[in-house]
Amino acid sequence: MTGWEELIVTFRAVFGARKRHHPIRVSFSALLRVTDDDRYVLFDSPARPSSYGPPGGVFKVHPPAGRILESWGFQPDRTAEGADRMKGDLRGLLPADSLRFFQEWFDTGAYRETAAECLRRELREEMSEVGIGAPGWSLGSLTFDPIRTVREGPGAVPGKPYQQLRNFEVYELSTRSPEAVRLRRELVEAGHDDGCPGVICASFDDIAHGRLGRALIAPQSAFLAGSARLAADLPSLR
């Protein structure tokens, strides 16, 4: 039995056949681990101002996937604050009885970003937001090494009418090229530079505590070091 099949069996055992249309919020992401000795590079998040988390984010889907997801009843997340940025995000509500089809499709990699494409895009956007990196600097040659995948749920979300299933794929920057070595150095230097407030370098103790000075630390940062969540989610702007 595969991991996905075990998850479906567990879900059915807990929620029963009568809840096959129960909404499940799905969110599938890739995160980048950049380390400096015992510290991790974290970026300020526009969606959660003054909170810092690992570079990376939700996978984007390509247009043909929209029709497939729609046929399964998928309703994408949208907020007034970030509607344009969220277009194509693989994050939204899905009926419980479509979950297996969704997971099997995701595993094929069809009509969606690869982890490398997702991380390159997110790095380009997030470096611009925090003010580091030379304009026009190409990240297209970067490659990444897998570290772990953390799957959460499906499980209840306090105060929400849905269950939630999240998948976090954690990667490390492969430093087998001069461009990657340069990028890693620049990210680490920015994290230690008080003149670059959009980037910090936090220890695992900081991550477990949830704060470094005035900076809040997003809970998914814990997945850079292990598979255990150490704190509840921070609310995003809406």
The pLDDT score that the predictor gives to residue 172 is 96
Q: What is the pLDDT of residue 48?
A: 83
- Tell whether 108 is covered by a domain: yes
Is 235 a domain residue? no
Q: Which domain holds residue 22?
A: 3-224
In a domain, 90, yes or no: yes
Q: How many domains does one find in the chain?
A: 1
**Per-residue confidence (pLDDT) for residue 4, from 0 to 100:** 52
pLDDT along the chain (238 residues), means of 10: 56 53 93 96 88 95 94 85 76 94 95 96 91 71 95 89 95 91 93 94 95 93 93 72
The verdict on residue 29 lying in a domain is: yes
Question: Is residue 36, in this structure, part of any structural domain at all?
Answer: yes
DSSP conformation letters of the chain: --HHHHHHHHHHHHH-GGGTT-EEEEEEEEEEE-EETTEEEEEEETTEEEEEE-SEEEPBB-HHHHHHHHHTT-EE---TTTTTTTTTBSEEEEEGGGHHHHHHHHHHTTTB--HHHHHHHHHHHHHHHHT-S-TT---TT--EEEEEEEEEEEEE-TT-SSEEEEEEEEEEE---SHHHHHHHHHHHHHHT-TT-TTEEEEEHHHHHHTEETTEEE-GGGGGGT-S---SPPPPPP-
Q: What is the pLDDT of residue 49?
A: 80
Instruction: Confirm whether 100 is domain-assigned.
Output: yes
| 187 assigned to some structural domain | yes
Q: What is the pLDDT of residue 82?
A: 58
**Inside any domain, residue 232:** no
What does the pLDDT read at residue 17? 47
